[in-house]
Amino acid sequence: MADIRNVKARFLNARLTSKLSIVLFGLVLVFSAKAQGGPPPGGDHGGGGGPMGGIGLPLGFLQQDKDYKFPDDITKYTANDFLMLVRRTDIRSSFYNSDMSATISMVSVSPDRGTFANKEQIFRRDKDDAFLMLMVEPESRKGQGMLRVDNNMWRYDPTSRKFTHTTLKDTYENSTVTNNDFRRWQRSIDYSVEKLSTGTLGNYKVIIGELKANNDEVPFPYLKMYIEADRKIVLKVEEYSLSMKLLRTAYYTQYVQIGDSFVPTVQIFQDGLIPEKRSQVTYTDISTKPLPDYYFTKEYLERVSQ
């Protein structure tokens, strides 16, 4: 009798173990799929038009902004209102519902190096925080490129056929432009509001927000943002060092509305230490057509650079 009980108990244990294994296996499958899934799948045309997601964005980053009610009077803005305003400018200057491609013309002036101009083609997928840049002009540097994908960034030189690792903080072509300037904006994630004031910038009434970095890994510890409250667009940003010295001033002088987005098409970056050193970046031929996924691969950059 005892033997039968033992056999039954063993049988039950075996069945229980088997069921538990199936449940555990299922859970492992679900979590593995989630872990490996990455961003949501793209739309019908190759990933650009997929639902709003976004690599590296806090939960609800895009959704919370939609119904936010800003004060009518700019003097009544609170720190939270301003942060939401910065978030609005972040979202509106980016393309989370589509891909973006454009031609960039850059003119840089430096007392040391003189004036030099170049032209690039940019392909951006903001929801994945990815972009690809290809040098078109000058002819001698045609084919050089830069790729940002999965939080990694590389430069490609077609002459040596080598990729070298680079970062968002690095300057672009020894100018006052950094690699980060070609990426989507996300200042509202990295900074918190310290002080608010109002003023005028040319003919525009602006809210001036002094921002401090949330963490010590952001390149500029302090920012001063000048945002036009009516159109909710950034007109000027001053970037300060840890010792509160002005490092760079960015002017966003022209905007173009494309769908829901307001794209700063003319951007001027002036060095804070050497004011004579400045660069102008102009975006033209902006398109929001979906881009194939393979555009954001090293293989494509290698192929298209030849």
Partner 1 sequence: MRLIHLKLAARNVRRQPHRTIALGGAVAFSALVMALISGFVNGMDLAIQDNVTLYSGGHVLISGYTASWSGKLQNRFSDANVAKIVESTDGGIRTVSPIAQSRATVVFGTREIQLTLRGVDWTKDQLYHDSLILSKGDWKGLESSRTMLMSAQTANRFGLSVGDQVVVRLNTASGQQNVTDYKVAAIYDDGAAGGMNTGFVAFGDLTADLNMKSNEQQQIAVFLKNSADAEKAAQTITGELSSKGFTVSRGAAANAGASNGTPSQDSSTGSDSFVSSITAPASSGTGASGARQGMGRLSSGTAIYHVSTIQELAGEIGSALGSVRWIGYAVFLLMLIVSATGISNSYRMVLLERTKEIGMLRCIGYKKKDVFSSFIWEGILLAGGAALVGVVLALPIGFGIGLIPFNPHGDFGAALVQGHLRFAPILGQFLLILVFVTIVAIAAVFLPARKAAEVVPVEALRKTA
Q: Which parts of this chain interact with partner 1 (CB under 8 A)?
A: 111-112, 150-152, 164-167, 169-171, 174, 213, 215-221, 239, 241-243, 245, 247, 273-274, 276-277
Query: Using CA atoms, how far apart are residues 20 and 23, in angstroms rounded to an integer?
Result: 5
- For the bound state, the minimum distance from the C-beta of residue 235 to partner 1, rounded and expressed in Å, comes to 23
Structure tokens of 195?
Answer: 């002080």
- For the bound state, the minimum distance from the C-beta of residue 281 to partner 1, rounded and expressed in Å, comes to 18
- Closer to partner 1 by Cβ: residue 6 or 174: 174
- For the bound state, the minimum distance from the C-beta of residue 164 to partner 1, rounded and expressed in Å, comes to 6
- Closer to partner 1 by Cβ: residue 57 or 85: 57
Q: For 18, left (φ over 0), alpha (ψ -120 to 50), or beta?
A: alpha
- Closer to partner 1 by Cβ: residue 102 or 135: 135
Compute φ and ψ for 181, nearest 5 degrees: -70, -15
Query: Using CA atoms, how far apart are residues 143 and 286, in angstroms rounded to an integer?
Result: 20
Query: Using CA atoms, how far apart are residues 61 and 198, in angstroms rounded to an integer?
Result: 26
- For the bound state, the minimum distance from the C-beta of residue 151 to partner 1, rounded and expressed in Å, comes to 5
- Closer to partner 1 by Cβ: residue 65 or 157: 157
Partners of 236 in the β-ladder = 226, 251
- Closer to partner 1 by Cβ: residue 187 or 277: 277
- For the bound state, the minimum distance from the C-beta of residue 86 to partner 1, rounded and expressed in Å, comes to 19
Element (H, E) at 210: strand 204-213
Query: Using CA atoms, how far apart are residues 183 and 61, in angstroms rounded to an integer?
Result: 17
